[in-house]
Amino acid sequence: MANPQRGEIVRALGGQSVTLCLTLGALAEVEAICPRGERLTAARLLAVLAALVRGGGDAELAGRLGELAIAPDAAAEAVAACFEAGTS
């Protein structure tokens, strides 16, 4: 169950319920993964998603996200929703 006061969200990704959270650690990872001005590739999107999943407390799942069948649009929506929840 997500804690909205912490900025957590829950999304169904690859057939699993996943908690994502934009923690300071996740934000630092995202900044390292996506330098300003560079394109967001599918690999980078998956790495950003993994950082947010680690922020949500599931490092094991974050390590195997590449094994799940996650649609790129679902991944992008989850990342955007997490950033929105983390900044509001």
Q: Is 56 exposed, middle or buried (0-12, 13-18, 19+ CB in 10 A)?
A: buried
The two structure tokens encoding residue 37:
């001005």
Residue 22 pLDDT > 80, yes or no?
yes
Residues 6+ apart with CB under 8 A from 25: 51, 54, 55
The pLDDT mean for the chain works out to 92
pLDDT recorded at residue 55 = 95
pLDDT digits (tens, 9 = 90+) for 48-80: 999 999 999 999 999 999 999 999 999 999 999
Residue 86 pLDDT > 90, yes or no?
no
**Where residue 13 falls among pLDDT bands split at 50, 70, 90?**
very high
Q: How far apart are CA 85 and CA 42, in angstroms?
A: 22
The fraction of the chain above a pLDDT of 70, given in percent, is 99
17-48 burial string, b = 16+ CB within 10 Å, else e?
A: ebbbbbbeebeebbeebbeeeeeeeeeebbbb
pLDDT recorded at residue 59 = 95
Residue 40 pLDDT > 80, yes or no?
yes
